[in-house]
Structure 1
Amino acid sequence: MNKHKTYFNWSSGKDSALALYHLLQNENYTVDELITTVNSHYNRVSMHGLRNELLLAQTNAIGIKSNFIKLPEMPDMVTYETIMNKTVSRLKSDGFTHTAFGDIFLEDLRTYRENQLTKQGLKAVFPIWKRNTKELLNEFLNLGFKTIVVCANSKYFNEDFVGTVINKDFINNLPEDVDPCGENGEFHTFCFDGPIFKNPISFEIGDKVYREYANPKTNNSVCESDTYGVWYCDLIPK
């Protein structure tokens, strides 16, 4: 049987790790490349704020070829799609027919991804789609994965939350309006050990930093704040 040559959209976090784990168990696919978007200004993983050095240590431990997609700090949609389309064209020319994501239930995002990829003739795969997020997090921990919170929305959390290593008590201590996997962007993580790694990733906890960003405006956003805040925990490679 011919396996589908697949590249994985790797975020460095727990959902990516679990989705990749399941995809690697699926005999219909072969994962030959990991692709991660990074902020070219700060040399860090987009949204997560993780240093590129730790991203490389992570993908080296997984043992799959990796590549960065370098984006400006705050790209508009035209810039973003131009850069992404160039990358996808390169991957298609290298023989890739499928691409996988760690998304769980964001319908609009899935539709956007599928529409963009269909234009290039690629098929999107979502290994953990529509799974219960509490069950996913428990499965993640039961499999032996380890992950730490690297950034969090200040609407829900303060600086004490970032730098937390997730364990079984984590779910019970979350605010009621926060998804257990942070699927709505409440928090992001760095996965540093587990069954897909040849070795754990060593790091030290550095500074915690607060930043504010412009809030995307929509037709029903009259009551929303102009900005939103994010706490980051810097992880330093050892």
Structure 2
Amino acid sequence: MKKRIVVSWSGGKDGCLALHTLIELGYEVVSLVTTAPKELGRTFGHGERIEMITLQGEALSIPVHFIECTFDSYTEQFIQDLKDLKNQYQISGIAFGDLYLDGHRKWGEKVADAAGVEAIYPLWTKQEEALESLEKFVHSGYQAIVIRIREDILDESWLGRIIDDSFVRDIQQTTSCPMGESGEYHTYVFDGPLFSKKIQLGDSELIQLETTKKLEFKSIQLV
């Protein structure tokens, strides 16, 4: 019998690669889990619109569960929703796409333990192997686009770039972690092997945020 789990999901390449790896390993992923501040209609992770994440769930044929929380109640609400998901789906674990930041892993293990499930890290590696992880994604068959950048690390010319071989070459010329593990850049996956339909991204505009810039798509649809 397959282990039933949920995957922590922000819509980017790391979570997608984790999802693909877990399915290859024989896990049954019953839901994608995303945190969203109450009333904002956007995710905590990348500040992405709820409908962008919902479309990914539809394209992947995996339901998305949004954890509605505030910054102050983030951990407490995450644990409560994880307990609810455990009862609803009889899950035994939650998987995260983190690569090497110990603080992130400790938090994930803490909330999983509090909810009575296992914390799974299918992509866990060493910092010096981040480039290898990026190359693995590029050759995985998935397509992702850069939707957000930290202005102190990358300029706005990186927004809208596809994660491909030229991206791998150019990111090595910057001070960014190749995988953007510290939030240097964020991505949105719009197609790939597990997608039954491609997400078509329409006109975009640049949004200036406090310390980051974001690419906002005005129209999106499954094709």
What is the TM-score when the length of structure 2 is the normalising length? Answer: 0.91
Root-mean-square deviation (Å): 1.5
Q: Kindly indicate whether the alpha-carbon contact (under 8 Å) linking 1:49 and 1:150 is maintained by their aligned counterparts in 2.
A: no
Q: Residue in 2 aligned with 1:173?
A: 170
Deviations 1:171-227 (A, max 9, x none): 221244211110111111000011111111011242111111xxxxxxxxxxxxxxx
**1:136 pairs with one of 129, 133, 136:** 133
Aligned letter for 1:39? P
Structure with higher Rg: it is 1
SS of 1:91's equivalent in the other structure is helix
Q: C-alpha deviations, 1:65-105, integer Å up to 9, x for none?
A: 22111233xx12xx112211220120121211111011110
For residues 93 and 76 of structure 2, the distance between their equivalents in structure 1, rounded to whole angstroms, comes to: 20
Give 4+ residue runs of structure 1 displaced > 4 Å after superposition: none
Q: 1:195 aligns to what SS in structure 2?
A: coil
Distance 2:193 2:148 in 1: 24
CA distance in 2, matches of 1:205, 1:69: 29
Other structure's SS at 2:156 match: coil
Q: Is structure 2 residue 63 aligned with structure 1 residue 81?
A: no
Distance (Å, rounded) in 1 between the aligned partners of 2:122 and 2:36: 23
Alpha-carbon deviation of 1:125?
0.6
SS at match of 2:91: coil
Partners of 1:71 and 1:147 lie apart in 2 by 27
Whether 2:215 is the aligned partner of 1:233: answer yes
Summarize the alignment of residues 120-199 of structure 1 with structure 2, pairs less than 5 Å apart: 120-130=115-125, 132-174=129-171, 175-199=173-197
Q: Which residue of 2 aligns with 1:54?
A: 52
CA distance in 1, matches of 2:161, 2:39: 26
TM-score by length of 1: 0.85
Q: CA deviation at 1:234?
A: 0.3
Report the equivalent of 1:42.
40
Alignment of 1:111-122 (within 5 A): 111-122=106-117
Say which of 93, 110, 115 aligns to 1:98.
93
**1:189 maps to amino acid:** T
CA distance in 1, matches of 2:6, 2:189: 19
| 1:26-84 C-alpha deviation (Å, 9 max, x unpaired) | 12x21111111123343122231222112111110101122111233xx12xx112211
Give the superposition deviation at 1:150: 0.8
| Counterpart AA for 1:81 | T
Does the Cα contact within 8 Å between 1:49 and 1:234 map onto a contact in 2?
no
